[in-house]
Amino acid sequence: MAITNRANGLCVKLLGEAGGLVDSGAVASSRMIAMTNYAFPPPPVPALQVEGSDALFPVGRIFCVGRNYDSHAREMGQANREPPFFFMKPPNALVPGGGKVAYPPLTADLHHEVELVVAIGEGGGIFGYGVGLDLTRRDLQGAAKKEGKPWDMGKGFDGAAPVSALRPASQVPRVDQGAITLSINGTERQRGDLAEMIWTVPEIIQELGRYMPLAPGDLIFTGTPAGVSALAVGDRLEGFVEGVGTLVVEITTP
């Protein structure tokens, strides 16, 4: 879409009925997107810092892969592995760079899941990588599963997606192996290796792309190794992915 300047602000040219571009001046004002005329200020664009750059990475969608580290499934051979499954968190669940996260409401069983996060850039390529925490209200998720209901309220709450600054892909030598760990108050709780992922990063991107085209700004949480456990107010979490970075989060009072 082309953008034209008008005296009353920015307007976006819209596709005409025949599918071609029409001049914005000929379009009824009700069909124009007047950038200066929202009913209220639009929500801020969630964004991540990029190492070595002043430019922020604007976050569009947050996809997550379900169970993706399973040594048993791997020893059963790749032919028998289940296709990956996906869920989403709303972009405003993002906590850029980590830091303080308030213990969320309606749960008594908040869990940590440390994950490698893949960031999609222009052209659908990999922009960079980060360290993420897929925070989960496990009790709500479990109840939803049991009743065959959606998980969203277990996974998509405010603060549910802390992610570190992104390291550009050109500076990450490999993500097919490398340690992934999480410690709480200095005690290691999760340890795995990226090599244990049932579905590799390229495979995840290919599979997810079958459901919908990926777009610049998309983040993909790629699953967590064993060792998830409950968090308490005051806990200090340190997530680490070898070659990618570190993420520190502190759970604070609601």
- Residue 106 CB contacts under 8 Å (≥ 6 apart), including other chains: 137, 140, 153
Nearer to Mn ion, 127 or 221 (CB): 221
Considering only residues 62, 69, 113, 197, which one is a binding residue for Mn ion as defined by CB under 5 A?
113
DSSP type of residue 58: E
Nearer to Mn ion, 11 or 93 (CB): 93
Binding-site size for Mn ion (CB under 5 A) equals: 3
Beta-strand (E) ranges in the chain? Answer: 3-6, 9-12, 47-48, 57-58, 62-65, 86-89, 94-96, 99-102, 110-111, 114-120, 126-133, 136-137, 161-163, 167-168, 179-184, 187-193, 219-221, 236-241, 245-252
Interface mask (CB under 5 A) for Mn ion, residues 125-164, using x and -? ---------x------------------------------
Closest contact distance (angstroms) between CB of 67 and Mn ion is 8
Closest contact distance (angstroms) between CB of 224 and Mn ion is 5
Nearer to Mn ion, 22 or 158 (CB): 158
Q: Does 218 bind Mn ion (CB under 5 A)?
A: no
Closest contact distance (angstroms) between CB of 121 and Mn ion is 23
- 181 close to 244: Cβ distance less than 8 angstroms: no
Which residues of this chain interact with Mn ion, rule CB under 5 A?
113, 134, 224
